Amino acid sequence: MTHSNTDEIFAQRLTQAIDELGVTGKELAAELHHSEATVSNWRHGKYLPDVVTLVAIARYFGKSVDWFLGAYDTAQAVRREHKGIAWSVNIPPNAHGQQRREISLGVLLFETLVRQNIDLNTVRGLADFKDYDIETLYAFLKIALHANALRIEHIPRSADLEQRIQRLYPHLRENSVIVADIQDKNDGTLVRAEFVAFLAANVVLNTIQYPDLIGIGSGYTMLRMAELAVPSMDQFRGTTWVPLMSFRETLTNHYGANFICELLANRFPKSTHQYYPFDTHSHTDDILQTHDNLRTAFVSMNGLGRSSRSSKTAQDTGDFRTADFGEFARLRRVYQRLTTADMRERIGGSFLGYVFDKQGQIIEEMMDDVQQEVKQIALPRWKAINGRGRVWVVAARLYKALPVWIAIRSGLANSLVIDNEIAEFILEAER
C-alpha cells in the first residue's frame, strides 16, 4: 500500500508534537480513547485519523489542524526545543507562493535534522524532500535563516568537554573553550555550523568591548557569526575589522574576509573595515602593518575527508570540504590537482590558506600553487597574535577536527568555539 504525502507529513508533525509535550504514545492513546497500536500507525504514516479525531489531536496539543497537515502558523513566532536546542519559527506573512514554499521547506529541513537522528540521504527519502538534491535543500535552509523565519535562541554547552580540553592544553586562554553540546547526530553540516556560529556570536563576539582591531578569516561559519552578531551603535565604536586573507576568485567574495569585514562594519555603524587586496606584495602596505597590531582574531578551517553528495561536487572540490558546497571552488580545485594519493596521506587540512600535514608542518610543495589563488597573513604575524591576545577558531563537524587539533598543538590558536564532534576527536587524539 502506498502512503500519501499528507500521511507522512502528519506522522512527522505528530511525532514532533509528542516530543515537545513529553507524552508517550500510550498516554495519547488513552486521552483520545484509541489503542496504542493506532497511535503507532499514525506516527509511522500508515494512515490518517478521522476528522473528529484529528480535531481532538490538534486541541490536545494546542496546535491547528492545518499545522498537523503541513502548514505553519505565522500569526506569531512558535518556539521549539529539542534536547536543549531552542529555536523559533515565524514565517513572514508577506511571503507567498513559491517564496513561502521555499522558506517552509528550509524550516522543515532544519526541524527534521534536529529532531530525528537520521542522515541527509535518509532525509532525502522523505516525501517533502525527495525531489531535491542536497545542495538545493541547503539553499532552502539558508533562505529560511535569512528570512528570519528560523531563529536560533539557545544552544547548550558541554561543561565536561570544555573543562577536559582546558586541562589538556594549559596554554589555551582561560575560559576560552566553548563546546556546543549537540546530543544527536544532526547530520546537516550547515545546521551544526549554525549552532557553533550562534555561540561564537553570542558568547564571544557580543561580549567584546571597544577593541581597536579585530581580525576576521573567511568561510561560511565566519559569515554566519557576523550575521548573527547583535547590532550595536557603541559596542565596536572605533573598531576596525581587519581581513586576514584575500582570494583571487571573485565569485567567493560573499564568503571572503573582505566581504565579512564590510558586513560587520555595516552592522556596527561606528566601526570601520580595511580591505586586503589580492595583489598585495609590499610589506609596508597598511593591511600588513595592521596585522602586526592585532590582539583578537577569528578564523575557521578547511577540512579534509567529508564525502561529496554529488558527482559534480566531487569534480569541483576534490577532498577539501567546507560547510558550503560552492565556497572557494577555484582554490579547492588547486588542492584537488595537487592531492595525489600519496599527498592525501600527508594532508591534515588548511588554515588561512596554508596547507598542513598531519604533524602540523606546512606542505611547501603545494604552497606556490595555492598562493596564486590566495594571499594571507604571514604565519609569524599570526603566531604573534596568538602569543599576545586571543585567536579564536570557530568550526563544526568532524572533518574539520584534524586542522583544529593541529592549530592548538602548533601554537596557532588559543581559544575555541567548536562542536562536540571536534571536542571528542581532540581528546581521543591525545590518548
Q: Could you please report the per-residue DSSP string of 152-169?
A: EEE--B-HHHHHHHHHH-
d(C-alpha 299, C-alpha 273), whole Å: 17
Calpha distance 71→91 (Å, rounded): 10
Contact of 377 with 215, CB cutoff 8 Å: yes
**Terminal-to-terminal C-alpha distance of the chain:** 52
Could you tell me if residue 74 is left (phi over 0), alpha (psi between -120 and 50 degrees) or otherwise beta?
A: alpha
416 pLDDT more than 60: yes
Count of CB atoms within 10 A of residue 266's CB? Answer: 12
The confidence band for 330, taking pLDDT boundaries of 50, 70 and 90, is low
Predicted pLDDT of residue 305:
58
pLDDT at position 369 is 81
Please give the biggest Cα pair distance in the chain. 79
Burial string for 336-353 (b: 16+ CB within 10 Å, else e) reads eebbeeebeebbbbbbbb
Mean pLDDT of the chain: 85
Q: Average of pLDDT values for 134-162?
A: 93
Q: What angle do CA 391, 392, 393 make, to 5 degrees?
A: 120
d(CA 178, CA 203): 9
How many Cβ atoms from other residues are within 10 Å of residue 320's Cβ? 24
Phi/psi for 299 (5° steps) reads -150, 155
* pLDDT the model gives residue 97: 82
Whether the CB-CB separation of 258 and 229 falls below 8 Å is answered with no
pLDDT at 196 over 90: yes
Burial of 359 (0-12, 13-18, 19+ CB in 10 A): exposed
Higher per-residue pLDDT: 17 or 75: 17
For 216-270, write each residue's pLDDT tens digit.
Answer: 999 889 999 999 999 998 999 999 999 999 888 765 677 889 999 999 999 999 9
Question: In Å, what is the CA distance from 179 to each residue of 229, 338, 393, 413?
Answer: 18, 34, 12, 15
Integer Cα distance of 267 and 230 in angstroms: 8
Cell numbers 541527509 label which residue? Answer: 120
- Alpha-carbon distance 283 to 305, whole Å? 35
- Assign 321 a pLDDT band (cuts: 50, 70, 90): low
Confidence band (pLDDT; 50, 70, 90) for 74?
A: very low
pLDDT value of position 186: 76
Q: Can you give the pLDDT at residue 241?
A: 97
Sketch out the chain's domains with CATH numbers. Answer: 1-69 (1.10.260.40), 72-154 (no CATH), 156-429 (3.40.50.1360)
Among 9-13, 264-268, 390-394, 419-423, the least confident range: 9-13
Query: Which 3-state string (H, E, C) describes 129-145?
Result: CCCCCHHHHHHHHHHHH
Stretch 394-423: mean pLDDT, rounded?
Answer: 93
308: pLDDT strictly greater than 50: no
Q: pTM for the whole thing?
A: 0.80
Written as one letter, the residue type at 113 is L
- Provide the pLDDT for residue 322: 54
Check pLDDT > 80 for residue 208.
yes
